[in-house]
């Protein structure tokens, strides 16, 4: 199967309210360009350096999403161009993004990553930490970031019930905060679902899926 036909097949199955992030990490620019030629404009990468190299080489109407874990000291390399940062999991990181966004005269959209899996290796805030962050004075002072919603990754397992439970949990945490009226929040996005579980994620309320291997092949 070609990248073009993989992409078209997936797009046909996605409801209109769900945004597709084509996860292109480790793949060469020539592969990304095939997706671009097929109309894809949103790409997700998990390393800032790799994303920046691709941004430099590719057409400028692409929206670049950082989906990986972000180290504060590398934020500055993507602030000139990044469209959405999915994996924000601390106030400290948000403060650094705000500082760099201000320097670039921008407001940068972010998602807060929530820990929903049963795996030690995954990052994210729990529900208490999320509420603490959103209600803190320090958070309200950040004028150059905007929180669009939440992101989560389910446990890597075959157990559909387990995955469904975790996605449902993320949706209910989102519902508990979605009416929050803070100037730097505009909550409308739930980023959940990858190649193996995106259909289930959509059933559970996802509005943004991050799909890599089903488009570009295995890594
Ligand atoms: C790699 C990655 C994906 C895509 O995974 P696939 O299984 O290839 O679709 C989605 N989200 C994150 C955070 C990733 O790192």
DSSP for the chain, please give it.
--HHHHHHHHHHHS-TT-EEEEE-TT--HHHHHHHHHTT--EEEES-HHHHHHHHHHS-TTPEEEE-S---GGGGGGTTTT--EEEEE--HHHHHHHHHHHHHTT--EEEEEEE--SS-TT---B-HHHHHHHHH-HHHHT--SEEEEEEEE---SSS-HHHHHHHHHHHHHHHHHHTT---TTEEEEEEE---TTTHHHHHHTT-SEEEE-HHHH---
209 lines ligand 1 (CB under 6 A): no
Atom 11 in ligand 1: residue holding the nearest Cα: 210
Q: What is the pLDDT of residues 29-45, one digit of tens each?
A: 999 999 999 999 999 99
pLDDT value at 120 more than 90: no
pLDDT value at 101 more than 80: yes
pLDDT of residue 196: 95
pLDDT value at 89 more than 80: yes
For residue 192, how far is its CA from the centre of ligand 1 (angstroms)? 10
User: pTM for the full model?
Assistant: 0.97
Give the pLDDT band (50/70/90) at residue 119. confident
pLDDT of residue 121: 67
The mean per-residue pLDDT over the stretch 173-189 comes to 95
């Amino acid at each position: 199967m070609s990248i073009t036909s993989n992409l078209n097949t997936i797009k046909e199955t996605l409801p209109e309210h769900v945004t597709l992030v084509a996860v292109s990490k480790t793949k060469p620019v020539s592969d990304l360009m095939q997706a671009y030629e097929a109309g894809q404009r949103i790409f997700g990468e998990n390393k800032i350096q790799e994303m920046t190299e691709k941004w430099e080489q590719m057409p400028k109407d692409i929206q670049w999403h950082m989906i990986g874990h972000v180290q504060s000291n590398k934020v500055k390399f993507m602030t000139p161009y990044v469209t959405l940062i999915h994996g924000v999991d601390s106030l400290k990181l948000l403060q650094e993004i705000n500082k760099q966004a201000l320097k670039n005269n921008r407001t940068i959209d972010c998602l807060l990553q929530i820990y929903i899996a049963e795996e030690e290796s995954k990052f994210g805030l729990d529900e208490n930490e999320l509420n603490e962050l959103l209600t803190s004075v320090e958070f309200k002072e950040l004028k150059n970031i905007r929180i669009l919603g939440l992101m989560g990754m389910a446990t890597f397992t075959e157990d559909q019930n387990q995955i469904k439970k975790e996605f449902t949990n993320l949706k209910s945490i989102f519902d508990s905060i979605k009416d929050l009226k803070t100037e730097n929040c505009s909550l409308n996005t739930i980023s959940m679902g990858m190649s193996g579980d995106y259909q289930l994620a959509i059933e559970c309320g996802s509005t943004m899926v991050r799909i890599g291997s089903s488009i570009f092949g295995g890594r």
